[in-house]
């Protein structure tokens, strides 16, 4: 039997999986990690990322390219990476227009997605002890206060160091099912900016400054992905439920920045209410699908 057709189908499948993950990573409240779990590639992805270590550096230094590529499952990562990039580029322009023309409706969907994610993470914590409850409540309060600072009284953060930091933080969500990197970007005040810059690139309107900012952001993503993947795996392996409790608290507190209704009455808020409910249901459906792949995921994480 010729293995090439099977290999081709596998790569097409990986590209498609990356495309879906890229689309998910562009939408606040939807986690690319959750999509990876739904598609059954989560364990393989986390394992490949976590192998970007000193051993890999040694192989590269000694020019043992084949062994280095095999160690990090390079073919898989490349196919997935191309798909993710395509998904982000495809949706960036759409998100830019929606954010400009329909901010309340977009925030309503985001609110529902994040609220659903909070419920999913809460349900995944089987043993609620005092430490976990306290950690979650502290995260709720701190995040609620931080994101509540009026945006019109604070100058937008334009420092390239902060853009780099935003990339580091947001990319970590890729290996945390239920936590959205796009949502973290929104909390940090960088989501609209990054989406707008990506949209400019797609339409050929990028300037040298915008390309520099995107390069800084991408560098932060790379550092975060390599530098924190092992830490996050260690935290989830050794303090999984406590870590999830704190993350869930931060997500709940951050809902303040997404509140879509403002001061409008019930009639003016009907469409946002429906969209909010729809976003909430989407996350619950994704979680139900992801739970089918949960056992294998749990075992690999404890390695």
∠ CA 168-24-11, nearest 5°, is 95
Give me the pLDDT at residue 266, please. Answer: 47
Give me the pLDDT at residue 152, please. Answer: 43
Give me the pLDDT at residue 55, please. Answer: 87
- DSSP 8-class letter at 73: T
Give me the pLDDT at residue 53, please. Answer: 79
Half-sphere exposure of 52 (CA within 13 A, CB side): 16
Average confidence (pLDDT) per 10 residues, the chain, 303 residues? 68 88 78 73 80 85 90 91 89 79 83 84 86 92 71 54 89 69 80 87 85 93 80 76 84 79 62 90 82 53 37
Distance CA 191, CA 173 (A): 14
Exposed/middle/buried for 127, CB within 10 Å: 0-12, 13-18, 19+? exposed
Whether the model pTM is above 0.75: no
Distance CA 294, CA 146 (A): 34
Main-chain dihedrals φ then ψ at residue 154, nearest 5 degrees: -125, 130
| C-alpha dist (Å) from residue 289 to 34, 93, 283 | 10, 29, 10
- pLDDT tens across 153-163, in order? 444 456 788 89
């Amino acid at each position: 039997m010729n293995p090439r057709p099977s290999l081709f189908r596998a790569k097409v499948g990986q590209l498609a999986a990356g495309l879906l993950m890229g689309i998910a990573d562009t939408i606040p409240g939807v986690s690319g990690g959750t999509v990876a779990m739904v598609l059954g590639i989560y364990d393989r992805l986390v394992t490949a990322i976590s192998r970007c270590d000193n051993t890999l550096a040694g192989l590269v230094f000694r020019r043992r390219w084949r062994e280095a590529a095999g160690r990090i499952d390079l073919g898989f990562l490349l196919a997935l990476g191309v798909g993710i990039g395509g998904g982000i580029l495809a949706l960036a322009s759409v998100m830019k227009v929606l954010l400009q023309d329909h901010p309340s409706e977009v925030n309503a969907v985001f609110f529902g997605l994040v609220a659903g994610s909070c419920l999913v993470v809460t349900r995944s914590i089987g043993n609620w002890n005092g430490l976990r409850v306290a950690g979650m409540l502290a995260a709720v309060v701190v995040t609620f206060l931080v994101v509540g600072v009026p945006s019109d009284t604070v100058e937008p953060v334009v420092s390239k160091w902060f853009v780099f930091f935003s990339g580091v933080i947001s990319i970590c969500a890729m290996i945390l099912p239920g936590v959205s990197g796009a949502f973290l970007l929104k909390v940090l005040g960088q989501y609209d900016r990054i989406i707008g810059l990506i949209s400019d690139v797609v339409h050929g309107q990028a300037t040298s400054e915008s390309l520099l900012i995107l390069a800084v952001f991408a560098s932060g993503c790379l550092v975060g992905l390599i530098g924190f993947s092992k830490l996050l795996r260690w935290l989830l392996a050794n303090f999984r439920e406590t870590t999830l409790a704190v993350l869930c608290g931060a997500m709940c507190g951050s809902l303040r920045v997404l509140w879509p209704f403002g001061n409008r009455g019930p009639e003016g808020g009907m469409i946002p209410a429906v969209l909010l409910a729809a976003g909430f249901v989407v996350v619950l459906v994704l979680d139900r699908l992801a739970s089918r792949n949960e056992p294998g995921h749990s075992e690999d994480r404890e390695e």
